C-alpha cells in the first residue's frame, strides 16, 4: 500500500509549567464579522482552543505569553495578552493562507496506521439495520470536526486543512482532508487531543495508563485537587427481534451501544471508580463533605456528564 504521510504545522511550546490565567476575547475580520473556528494558541505552552460561531473564545494561558491566532483563508496574527478578560483579535483575509504560517515549526510527520485506512467509505455514511435502520454511531461526532493533538513532547499538532473524529469502537483518532478517506493516527504519535463540535464545545481525551493503557480516556475535569475521567466504549449489537405470534422480544434494528465508566483522581492518588449516583459521588469527595453537599443543594437536575464537569470545576476552586 502506498505510504501516506502528511506534515502537520506544529507550534513549538515550552515544557516549563507556567502560571495561567483565564483569557477570553473575540476574533473578527476586517469588516467586523466574527471569524468562527479560528485557532488560538499560547505562544509558549500547549494551551489552545477554537473560537465559536460568534468569534468568541476562552482558554487558560500564560499572561507573559502572546497568542497566535489563525484560520483558513486568513493570515496569522500575534496578539499580546494586555487585557485577559477582553482580547480583541483582528484577523486579515489572506486567500493563500490555510493555517499557521509564522509560528516556529518542527519538521515532524503525523503517521496514519496504514493497515487501517478506509479509502472507500466516508464516516458520514449511515448504515442500515434489519428493519428500522441503524441506531447510534461508532463515531463521537456525526460529522468531521476541528481539533488539535498533543505530542508526547508537549507540542501542539494542528492544521486548518484537516478535520477529525474519534472511533469509539477502536479508540482511534481519525483525520481527513477530503472527507472521503478516513485515516487513523498511530497512537504513539500523540498523548492526547481535543475535538470541537459544531458549537466549538471541546471534548478532551488523553492517555491515563492507570485507567486504560490501550485507549484514550475523556477528561471531564482537570484541576489541582481533582481530576475526573470517563472511559467510553461502544459495542455493535445486531438486531435480535423474535416473535412466536403472541409475544415478542428484542429489537428489530442494529445498534451501536455506548458504555461509560467514571473515575476520579484525588490529588496524586490512584483513580477511584464511581457511579453517577449522589451517594457514590459524595463518597469520592469525602474529604470536603460540606462543599460537595452545597453543590448538590444548589444544582438540581440529572447527574450526567455536564453535571459532573460542573461539579469538578466547582470542587477544584
258-269 pLDDT tens trace: 999 999 999 999
For residue 246, pLDDT beyond 80: no
Interval 182-236: pLDDT, tens: 888 888 889 999 999 999 999 999 999 999 999 999 999 999 999 999 999 999 9
What would the grid cell of residue 195 be?
A: 475535538
Interval 16-34: pLDDT, tens: 455 899 999 999 999 999 9
| d(C-alpha 296, C-alpha 263), whole Å | 19
- DSSP classification of residue 8: P
**Taking a C-beta distance cutoff of 8 angstroms, is the pair 123, 60 a contact?**
no
Task: Rank 34-43, 113-122, 238-247 by mean pLDDT and report only the highest.
Answer: 34-43
What would the grid cell of residue 256 be?
A: 451501536
**Taking a C-beta distance cutoff of 8 angstroms, is the pair 205, 218 a contact?**
yes
For residue 243, pLDDT beyond 50: yes
Q: Tell me the domain boundaries of the chain.
A: 9-107, 110-317
**Radius of gyration, CA atoms only, the chain:** 22
Topology (CATH level 3) of domain 9-107: Immunoglobulin-like (2.60.40)
Interval 53-69: pLDDT, tens: 999 999 999 999 999 99
Sign of torsion over alpha carbons 199, 145, 108, 178: negative
Mean pLDDT of the chain: 84
Decide: helix, strand or coil at residue 312: helix
Interval 107-151: pLDDT, tens: 333 555 544 555 334 454 433 344 457 888 899 999 999 999 999
| d(C-alpha 316, C-alpha 262), whole Å | 17
Supply the pLDDT for residue 110: 57
| d(C-alpha 237, C-alpha 110), whole Å | 33
For residue 316, pLDDT beyond 50: yes
Mean pLDDT over 92-106 rounds to: 53
∠206-68-55 over CA atoms, to 5°? 85
Spell out the residues 6+ positions from residue 244 whose beta carbon is closer than 8 angstroms to its own: none
For residue 81, pLDDT beyond 70: yes
Q: Which residues pair with 307 in a beta bridge?
A: none
pLDDT band at 98 (very low <50, low <70, confident <90, very high): very low
What would the grid cell of residue 95 be?
A: 486567500
| d(C-alpha 58, C-alpha 52), whole Å | 10
Amino acid at each position: 500500500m502506498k505510504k501516506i504521510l502528511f506534515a502537520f504545522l506544529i507550534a513549538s511550546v515550552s515544557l516549563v509549567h507556567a502560571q495561567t490565567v483565564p483569557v477570553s476575547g473575540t476574533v473578527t475580520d476586517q469588516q467586523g464579522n466574527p471569524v468562527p473556528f479560528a485557532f488560538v494558541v499560547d505562544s509558549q505552552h500547549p494551551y489552545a482552543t477554537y473560537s465559536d460561531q460568534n468569534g468568541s473564545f476562552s482558554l487558560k494561558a500564560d499572561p507573559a505569553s502572546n497568542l497566535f491566532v489563525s484560520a483558513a483563508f486568513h493570515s496569522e496574527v500575534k496578539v499580546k495578552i494586555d487585557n485577559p478578560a477582553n482580547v480583541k483579535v483582528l484577523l486579515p483575509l489572506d486567500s493563500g493562507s490555510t493555517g499557521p504560517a509564522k509560528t516556529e515549526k518542527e519538521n515532524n510527520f503525523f503517521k496514519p496506521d496504514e493497515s487501517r485506512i478506509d479509502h472507500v467509505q466516508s464516516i458520514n455514511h449511515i448504515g442500515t439495520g434489519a428493519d428500522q435502520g441503524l441506531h447510534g454511531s461508532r463515531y463521537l461526532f456525526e460529522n468531521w470536526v476541528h481539533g488539535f493533538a498533543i505530542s508526547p513532547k508537549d507540542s501542539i499538532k494542528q492544521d486548518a486543512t484537516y478535520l477529525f473524529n474519534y472511533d469509539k469502537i477502536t479508540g482511534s483518532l481519525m483525520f481527513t482532508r477530503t472527507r472521503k478517506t478516513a485515516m487513523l493516527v498511530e497512537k504513539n504519535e500523540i498523548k492526547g487531543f481535543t475535538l470541537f463540535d459544531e458549537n466549538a464545545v471541546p471534548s478532551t481525551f488523553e492517555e491515563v495508563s492507570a485507567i486504560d493503557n490501550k485507549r484514550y480516556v475523556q477528561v471531564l475535569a482537570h484541576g489541582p485537587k481533582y481530576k475526573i475521567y470517563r472511559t467510553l466504549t461502544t459495542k455493535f449489537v445486531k438486531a435480535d427481534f423474535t416473535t412466536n405470534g403472541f409475544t415478542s422480544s428484542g429489537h428489530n434494528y442494529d445498534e451501536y451501544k455506548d458504555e461509560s465508566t467514571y473515575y476520579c483522581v484525588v490529588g496524586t492518588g490512584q483513580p477511584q471508580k464511581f457511579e453517577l449516583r449522589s451517594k457514590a459521588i459524595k463518597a469520592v469527595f469525602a474529604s470536603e463533605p460540606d462543599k460537595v453537599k452545597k453543590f448538590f443543594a444548589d444544582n438540581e437536575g440529572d447527574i450526567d456528564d455536564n453535571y459532573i464537569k460542573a461539579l469538578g470545576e466547582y470542587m477544584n476552586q
